[in-house]
A and B are shown apart, each in its own frame.
Chain A
Amino acid sequence: MYRYSEFDTAFLAERNKQFRAQVERRIDGSLTEDEFKPLRLMNGLYLQLHAYMLRVAIPYGTLSSAQMRQLALLAEKWDKGYGHFTTRQNIQYNWPKLKDVPDMLDALAEVGMHAIQTSGNTIRNVTADHFAGAAADEVADPRPYAELLRQWSTDHPEFQFMPRKFKIAITGSENDRAVIKAHDIGLQLIERDGVLGARVIVGGGLGRTPMIGKELSDFVAFDDLLAYLEATVSVWNQIGRRDNKYKARIKITVHENGIDTIRAKVNERFLQIRPQFKGADMALLDEIKTHFAAPDFRQGSAASFESAYTNDPVFRSWVDTNIAPHKNADHAIVTISIKKHGATPGDATTEQMRVMADLAEEFAYDELRISHEQNVILPHVHKSDLPAIHAKLKEHELATANIGLISDIIACPGMDYCALATARSIPVAQEIATRFDDLKLEHDIGNLKIKISGCINACGHHHVGHIGILGLDRAGVENYQITLGGDGTETAAIGDRTGPGFAYDEIVPAVERIVNTYLEQRDSADEEFLQTYRRVGMAPFKAALYPEAQANAA
């Protein structure tokens, strides 16, 4: 875990002091809202439909138990007893009062956390593979580099007034769990001839113009990577469009100029700025790496695990669904679902946060992760501890065995909270999860990712959902468009629209028809939804969704 240096601590204290004074000046009338708004956004404070919202960064999704307990404290003391984990490894508090926010930020600083650059046209929270440092398939832990990027991008003088926001994601594995191809820059760590570096993807993004990122470089060694990334952001900062907010993201710059032109410009800029990087970044990276050393994995027999697995069907189902292979064979990665059927995806209560912190401290080397899929992970668990963990999770409604299944839905806050939303997302997710739980079909259906956004900005990643749902306002009524075949992994793809949208009360039945079509069409229980869709195409799904159109055409 990264521990703040004296510099980090002093910087944050100063920044929080400034914001406290800014809030006071807003309240006493010396600052207008137009003056105050950019200042509050720089510190993660939004004004939403019903209240203010504070968005706190969880850099590269990593938390200690002390940090998780502090997040619980904020929820208890200044909110309504829960927090909402987002699709970019942040936590959002939906009900803070303006006067309380400076105290909340001070409380976060006590555990080395902040809300800086969680909004505005800046480099946002750097996200990472939530299995980083634990996954069996990884080249290297991406988090030290992510921390270097956090320090580099925080308050970077060149990157405070950019054309638009900028999002970076990083993974250490070929299997992409960090959606790197849907980020402004995506990094995949690669080792070449014994040298660690990264493949650099640029210009991915969702929103109103969804694009899959393109390869800017197949390999940049760590020695050069920071200069190369600075060159990339710098090129976009100069030529990115500021005339139109909807064409300002780097995906449009790459699309309009072509990847080859962008690559040439980046290379030119890189040669200019490379000499400014004299190795201090690499020295810092070496220092940061020491914070992320793997824990001293304990030895021991996993016999108690085997026995529980054989004898307890509920435990077995949970293990089969929520456990991933760890690089240490005696250990496992536990994904805790915070998506009990019918609950709000990504919400955890104060009590649940404390339980998860306790489990991390007792069994998981004091580490927790937050995934972009809005779940919580215990990255390092000895297998013999799994039965005890499962028992504790069950007591707190945290033992739902649904990871990767149809009820493990990503949903943005939608019009229940968000000022930008055009329709609700949360109740649609709740009803789909409840419906398929009632049908007792979800384990039979298998791996199926539903992602729901309540507006075109696509915080719910609907374009890369196997089934994507987009809520819109059509003539003053909620209407939901469906896309099929999206994929957020290393084989990334944007989903295809099925056709006209569905009313609020038609969307769950429509999803059910899609799933039934899949069950009819799949060639065996092993063929997953996405594979079936790729094999059979849109036609059978369309026929099931729009029987009238088919009848008219006949």
Chain B
Amino acid sequence: MPRAFTPKVVTANHLLEGDVIYLTEDDRWSRDLSEAELITDEAHAQVRLLDAERQANVIVGAYLADAVAGENGPEPSHFREDFRRTGPSNYAHGKQETSPQPRT
């Protein structure tokens, strides 16, 4: 039996900056996971991934990452995505440098 679909966000790295970005429902790229479109339908997820991959001059390496609905928008369900939305743990660099996000 195929595994049940779990909610996803479309994420990638920005071509010029290299930093982590997320696709929003209104077709913007946000640097904030909480602004991402949380996709609960598998077919829609594939369409949104294609939408992202078409923007090859803006982004690199788009993929669907697991996420869960939180109070203020999507939140990571895996520690890798938690690091990606925050930054490294040895210095306050990356996203935590510019827009602090509370760690859960």
Contact = CB atoms under 8 A, between A and B. Distances in A.
B73 interface: no
B90 A49 contact: no
A424 interface: yes
Interface in B45-104: 56-57, 60-61, 77-80, 83-84, 87-91, 93-95
Given A344-B90, A424-B89, A51 B17 contact: yes
5 contacts: A50-B93, A94-B88, A95-B93, A98-B18, A424-B89
B4 interface: no
A97 interface: yes
Interface residues of B, number: 25
Given A50-B93, A98-B15, A416-B83, 20 more contacts: A27-B57, A29-B56, A33-B61, A47-B13, A48-B18, A49-B80, A50-B20, A50-B87, A51-B18, A52-B18, A80-B91, A94-B93, A344-B90, A344-B91, A426-B90, A427-B90, A430-B90, A473-B79, A476-B78, A477-B79
Interface in A401-443: 415-417, 424, 426-427, 430
A80 B56 CA distance: 27
Interface residues of B: mostly helix, strand, loop or mixed? loop
B84 A50 contact: yes
Interface of A: 26-29, 32-33, 47-52, 80, 94-99, 344, 347, 415-417, 424, 426-427, 430, 473, 476-478
Contact of B20 (A49, A95, A417): A49
Contacts, number: 75
A49 B15 CA distance: 13
Contacts of A416: 83, 88-90
A387 B46 CA distance: 65
B19 interface: yes
Given A426-B90, A427-B90, A477-B79, A27 B15 contact: yes
B16 interface: yes
A397 to B, nearest CB: 15
Nearest to A33: B60
Q: Which 6 A-B pairs have the closest CB atoms?
A: A416-B88, A52-B18, A51-B18, A29-B57, A50-B94, A344-B90
A52 B19 CA distance: 8
A115 B79 CA distance: 31
Nearest to A477: B79
B48 to A, nearest CB: 18
B94 A51 contact: yes
A27 B89 contact: no
B10 to A, nearest CB: 16
Nearest to A50: B94
A477 B17 CA distance: 29
A476 B81 CA distance: 11
